[in-house]
Amino acid sequence: GREAGIEEALAFFAGETDAFPDRPDAWHLRGELELQARKAPEAARSFREALRLDPGRLGSKIRLADAVRLSGRFEDALQAFNA
């Protein structure tokens, strides 16, 4: 089903970020999949890595705030977005 597909895609992007750790797009997509898999703390880590590699990625910044908010850390979410 859908969850199995998400987990399969997540495994693929985990391999991509292991093989190519300097690709912010791979980290961002991994974070998107982690959010879909309801793994918000892991997604936040992936979006932070995408931003470390490419600080101008507005999409990663927005999704980082989403991931932090979904983790229940509202003040941290606001801080992540305003950083």
Mind listing the pLDDT tens digit for each residue in 39-55? 999 999 999 999 999 99
Give residue 79's pLDDT: 67
CA 52 – CA 56 distance, rounded (Å):
9
In tens, the pLDDT along 52-83 reads 999 999 999 999 989 988 887 666 656 666 66
Tell me what the pLDDT averaged over the chain comes to.
Answer: 89
Q: What are the distances in angstroms from CA 26 to CA 14, 19, 35, 36, 60? A: 9, 10, 14, 15, 11
Of residues 20 and 75, which shows the higher confidence score?
20
Yes or no: say if 49 and 29 are a contact pair by the CB < 8 Å rule. Answer: no
pLDDT (average), residues 19-38: 96
pLDDT of res. 54: 97
